[in-house]
Amino acid sequence: MIINNESLLNPIQEIIKKCRLNHIAIIMDGNRRWAKKHKLPSTSGHNAGVKSLKNAVKTCGEIGIDYLTVYAFSTENWGRKKEEVDFLMFLLGETVKKELKSLHNNNVRIRIIGNLTTLNKELQKILRNAIETTSDNTGLNLQIAINYGSREEICNAVSLIASDIKAGKINPQDICDELISDYLYTADIPDPDLLIRTGGEQRLSNYLLWQSAYTEIYITNTYWPDFGKSELEKAVHEFVRRDRRFGRD
């Protein structure tokens, strides 16, 4: 008997397949406000945020999303209090170490976008080990933006292009959208179809500015620690209702 795989899809998987939702990017905002609301220290909000991230990774894998990119720490976040920055760096490292085995066993490929060179050596080692360990995995592609800023990313790309022009590897006439994209941190990753921002703020915060030229943006007042499977599916349903014309009509 021949089994039609299409018939095995649940409703949300069918929706994603039909609307070609391939890549979701998330600005995970509201951890500190969630903690304040519950009269807890900000560290509790960040810890609760990790649980939401685990749920988002699991849900995206289950419903058939190919790429998930999350904003974990921006270049501007260095301006926060040293105690909070130190905790966030520690939390990032410990979370990756703790979850690596499970992610690897579930065929998740981990990539880091951002400037790793300014992070402490131990954290760099943890992140590079996660990248190497999961490099051959073929399931969900999980990109974690750490020490990431889109303007810095674009400046870095321009600098690399200039160096390659000087070295005679490319000509100035070669510069186009596709070439610039090839010099970004996200070189072999498709642009996001849907960008979700939790916490209610209505700005991109220097996140994937080049890549989000025609990304659909969904903003929810829900704080990140409260953002669960039902909230993610709500964002998907909103995406389906959008008419993506890409400037053609």
Among 208, 216, 213, 211, CA closest to 243: 216
Among 141, 184, 137, CA closest to 160: 184
Encoded tokens for 120: 């402490």
Q: Are 206 and 75 within 8 A, CB to CB?
A: yes
> What one-character DSSP code corresponds to residue 227?
-
Q: Are 224 and 199 within 8 A, CB to CB?
A: yes
Q: What burial letters (b/e) apply to 99-114, b meaning 16+ CB within 10 Å?
A: bbeebbeeebbbbbbb
Query: What torsion do the CA atoms of 222, 226, 227, 229 make, to the nearest 10 degrees?
Result: -130
> What one-character DSSP code corresponds to residue 174?
G
Q: Which residues are catalytic?
A: 29, 77
Encoded tokens for 89: 């760096």
Instruction: Say how many Å lie between the first and final Cα of the chain, rounded.
Output: 45
Please give the helix or strand (H or E) that residue 124 lies within, else none: helix 121-133
Measured over all CA atoms, what is the biggest interatomic distance in the chain, rounded to whole angstroms? 63
Q: Are 227 and 220 within 8 A, CB to CB?
A: yes
